[in-house]
Amino acid sequence: MTLKECYAALGGNYDDVLGRLPERLVQKFVLKFLNDGSYDLLCRSLEAGDRGEAFRAAHTIKGVCANLGFDALLESSEKLTEALRDGAPPQPGEEELIRRVGEDYRRTVQAIQAYQGALGA
Amino acid sequence: MTDKQRILIVDDSEMNRSILAGMLEEEYDILEAENGSEGMAMLQKHGTGISLVLLDIVMPVMDGFGVLNAMNKYHWIEDIPVIMISAERGSGHIERAFELGVIDFISRPFDSRIVHRRVVNTILLYAKQKKLAGMVAEQIFEKEHNSSLMIDILSHIVEFRNGESGLHVRHVHTLTEIMLRTLTQKTDRYRLSEADISIISTASALHDIGKIAIPEEILNKPGRFTPEEFEIMKTHSMVGAEMLKDLPAYQEEPLVRAAYEICRWHHERWDGRGYPDGLREDEIPISAQIVALADVYDALTSERVYKPAFTHEQAVDMILNGKCGTFNPMVMDCLRDCADQIVEELSGDSLQRRSQREMQNVARELHKHKELTASERTLELLEHERMKYSFFASLTEEIQFEYTLNPPSLLLSTWGAEKLGLPEALMDPYQDELANAIILVRDRDNLADALHSTTPGNPVVQYDCKLNVGGEERWHRIIARASWSSEEPPRYCGCIGKAMDIHSSRLHLEQLEQQASHDGLTGLLNQAYAKKRVRQRLEDRPGGRYALAILDLDNFKQANDTYGHMFGDQVLKFVADRLRHSIRGGDIAARVGGDEFLIFLEYKTDLESTIKGVYERLSGGCYEKFPISASMGVASAEAVGTDYDALFRCADQALYMVKKHGKGHYRYYHEENDQMDRAISAVSPIDGADGAGAARREEADT
């Protein structure tokens, strides 16, 4: 699997990111994404009802995705970020947003893991 | 050490930080902080050692705007450029960031080449700005230099018209400067800064500009003035002042203000007999007081059309004898103290010396311009100070600290941080568990209160308390200096200081105190100390119901004689122990000397039951073969008042009565005892006028 195929699998925009960052760094940071704890933090703080912390975690995911051109996860995390902004109370449909972020996150992680596996092979 | 410039990246996401670091680490040194508060700590630590800050907005603990607010507060934003990088797209955020002084705003997703280019550009731009600021500062020095040249020229015009040598102005300048410096060493009453000294000395050259308005024939008259002429001559001080007052644009210039004071009042005298206003003592500004003395001194030691030159000694004598009016005694002391320096400086006023002094003045000018915060020179000096400080701090084994009130942060010297097990930079130390484990809240608050109640003139506090160092409580002496802002009124903004381990000397002191206050054999208080404690108690709570008892072991001499002194000592220790256990916590027990003990106690309602209890616990039984029996005399404050000596004397007399009547019991002091005692004294030749109770009892024992 190439990096380009990985981007296709996770719903990202490979051409865009290459326009902004050198390929060497893109590869490095894509792999690093696997170790980023922001999604865990998001889940934990939502569970604990800490909406301020959840906002910051979603915001971080959004920022990282924007930089790496992970468009699918960027879109869903951006919506969740706005829903959580300024400690706003839960609105109907928030569950759906959270579910979408989870789905996109897993898809992203699976694609990167597949790419990592292909590198090792 | 590296020559690379340093960039601080403040972002809570490790990913984001490493993306940025990855783009810049080849050319720059990268520092990372994961929230605003950590970022502040690094800024505090490295200062302008940081060339650029890349700042995120949304972060825990302290967000990006918090950092910008603090950087504004400390004016760091003027010296350290900040580029904001955020995924926030709202124009409100961007606008606010620019208002707070960021130089650029980059939104995510960013292009690595753009970030790189903007970082490089910003760093270059700031370097250029610093250089420009340095150049502006140079120009200001130049201007100052020119203005003192102008003053020189102006004052010389006056002098040449006056037919003087031209040295007078220069001499007065030199004398003024020397005496001002001497004065600042003597007293800080006049609050003269380095800048003030420089301004006053420069302005001193203008003291006689009013003479321009005096007709030449009066000015240069060789003989004595007629009263009319003298009146005209006297107008020169006011005329000079008016001339300065008419300079419309420069009234706020410190130099003009100083020159005004000097012109107007350099003929005033300490006793109020000078002119034009007849001011007295410190009503006369210190600038004018000093210049007046310099003027008189130089007039005496120089040749004039109407007089020869006097020697230094003659001149000082004449001034001290009041030949030229009276002066501030402290200023005269200055003249006396720096006599050698004056003679040396004035006699050798050669060209070379002069240029030397100019060099010195340039150096002083540098001090004067310390308010130019952004100039390259200041930054260098600051950097130098920082380097010096950390070097000396690393040499001394002391806990040195710097506390800033806003934002609350604590910096520790490397050695101190290691010793206390704390990081070198600590944000919000009041909320920090580790920091709170080191000093008791009470001590911390006392120290903070003491610092808050200092004044800018007297900012140093010394406080002894225990600190928990490496799990051990040790006495430390904390010496701290409060920092006050220079605004009016001054604001407390933190402190610097150090903590020294004084544990062993403190313990030694406590030991000495223990030795001085306690009886070596029994461990009870000694009489002198007991007396102090009893008096203290009587003073602190004069309303209490108190009694003082003195007791004496019956037949103790036999114990010594029969079993030896060692045994006697054991008996005394045994009794002391019983004594300790017979009284309550607040009561005072002491060994008066020999086999005589003292008890001072407070009772609630019934003195008799209290005394009975104590006596029964003390007397009776044996120590080995020796039966313990005590005689005790008691005096209550109710009966004899709250004077220690009276209580002691009366208890002693009651004890004497006990001995007289067969020992082994106790008695209270009553008036009739006293009278009886006196009756006995009257018939007994042994009870001499000295009334030594001990001698009497010894007699009764045997």
Domain boundaries, chain B: 6-134, 162-349, 397-508, 518-701
Q: Of B19, B108, B113, which is closest to A29 when you measure between CB atoms?
A: B19
Tokens of B642: 């709250």
pLDDT tier, B689 (very low <50, low <70, confident <90, very high otherwise): very low
How high is the pLDDT of residue A99? 93
User: Which amino acid is located at B136 in the chain?
Assistant: V
Inform me whether the pLDDT recorded for A42 exceeds 90: yes
**Distance between A98 CA and the closest CA of chain B, angstroms:** 20
Tokens of A55: 């906002």
Are B162-349 and B518-701 the same fold in CATH?
Answer: no
Residues of A in contact with B16 (CB under 8 A): 60, 63-64, 67
Rg (alpha carbons) of chain B, rounded to whole number: 40
Question: Which candidate, B229, B294, B291, B247, places its Cα nearest to that of B265?
Answer: B291
Class of the B6-134 domain?
alpha beta
Inform me whether the pLDDT recorded for A111 exceeds 90: yes
> Which residue reads 């706020």 in tokens?
B252
**Distance between B113 CA and the closest CA of chain A, angstroms:** 7
Residues of A in contact with B56 (CB under 8 A): 63
CB B578 within 8 A of CB B599: no
Residues of A in contact with B22 (CB under 8 A): 25, 28-29
Inform me whether the pLDDT recorded for B569 exceeds 70: yes
Residues of B in contact with A64 (CB under 8 A): 13, 15-16
In chain A, residues 43-102 whose CB comes closer than 8 Å to chain B? 53, 55-56, 59-60, 62-64, 66-69
Strand order in the sheet with B29-33: B29-33, B6-10, B52-55, B82-86, B104-107
In chain B, residues 109-148 whose CB comes closer than 8 Å to chain A? 109-113
- The whole-number average pLDDT for the span A93-113 is 92
Say whether A67 and B108 touch across the interface (CB within 8 A): yes
* Per-position b or e across B550-572, b if 16+ CB within 10 A of its CB: bbbbbbbeebbeeeeeebbebbb
What ipTM score was computed for the predicted complex, to two decimals? Answer: 0.73
Residue-wise pLDDT for B117-165, tens only, equals: 888 888 887 777 666 666 655 555 555 555 566 666 666 666 655 656 5
Residue-wise pLDDT for B263-303, tens only, equals: 999 999 999 988 889 898 889 999 999 999 998 988 888 87
Stated length of chain A = 121
Q: If you ran DSSP here, which 8-state letter would residue B458 be given?
A: B
SS3 B484: strand
Question: Which residues on neighbouring strands pair with residue B439, listed in sequence order?
Answer: B467
Class of the B397-508 domain?
alpha beta
* Per-position b or e across B148-184, b if 16+ CB within 10 A of its CB: beebbeebbebbeebebeeebbbbbbbbbbbbbbbbb
Q: Of A33, A53, A59, which is closest to B15 when you measure between CB atoms?
A: A33
Chains A, B: CB contacts within 8 A come to: 63
Residue of chain A nearest B14, judged by CA positions: A36
- The whole-number average pLDDT for the span B99-118 is 83
SS3 B402: strand
H or E element at residue B581: helix B565-582
Best mean pLDDT range from A28-37, A84-93, B138-147? A28-37
Residues of A in contact with B58 (CB under 8 A): 55-56, 59-60
- Provide the angle, in degrees to the nearest 10, between the axes of the packed helices B644-660 and B527-540: 120
SS3 B474: strand
Mean of all residue pLDDT scores within chain B: 80
How high is the pLDDT of residue A110? 93
Please state whether the peptide bond connecting residue B222 to the residue before it is cis, i.e. omega within 30 degrees of 0. Answer: no
Residue-wise pLDDT for B402-435, tens only, equals: 888 877 888 888 888 888 888 888 888 888 888 8
Q: What distance in Å separates the CA atoms of residue B682 and residue B658, rounded to the nearest whole number?
A: 19
Q: What is the pTM of this model?
A: 0.38
Say whether B109 and A66 touch across the interface (CB within 8 A): yes
Question: Which candidate, B433, B432, B427, B431, places its Cα nearest to that of B409?
Answer: B427
pLDDT tier, B521 (very low <50, low <70, confident <90, very high otherwise): confident
SS3 B309: coil
Tokens of B184: 């600042």
Choosing among 3.40.50.261, 1.10.20.140, 3.30.70.270, 3.90.79.10, the CATH entry for B518-701 is 3.30.70.270
Mean of all residue pLDDT scores within chain A: 89
Question: Which candidate, B112, B60, B48, B47, places its Cα nearest to that of B85?
Answer: B112
**Distance between B90 CA and the closest CA of chain A, angstroms:** 12
Say whether B87 and A63 touch across the interface (CB within 8 A): yes
Residue-wise pLDDT for B294-346, tens only, equals: 989 888 888 776 677 888 888 888 888 888 888 998 888 888 888 777 877 77
B25 touches chain A (CB under 8 A): no
Q: Of B15, B56, B112, which is closest to A22 when you measure between CB atoms?
A: B112
Poorest-confidence range of A12-21, B36-45, B105-114? B105-114
How high is the pLDDT of residue B140? 53
Inform me whether the pLDDT recorded for B221 exceeds 60: yes
Would you identify the CATH topology of the domain B162-349? Hypothetical protein af1432 (1.10.3210)
Q: Which domains does chain A have, with CATH numbers?
A: 3-120 (1.20.120.160)
Question: Which residues on neighbouring strands pair with residue B484, listed in sequence order?
Answer: B492
Say whether A69 and B109 touch across the interface (CB within 8 A): yes
Residue of chain A nearest B58, judged by CA positions: A56
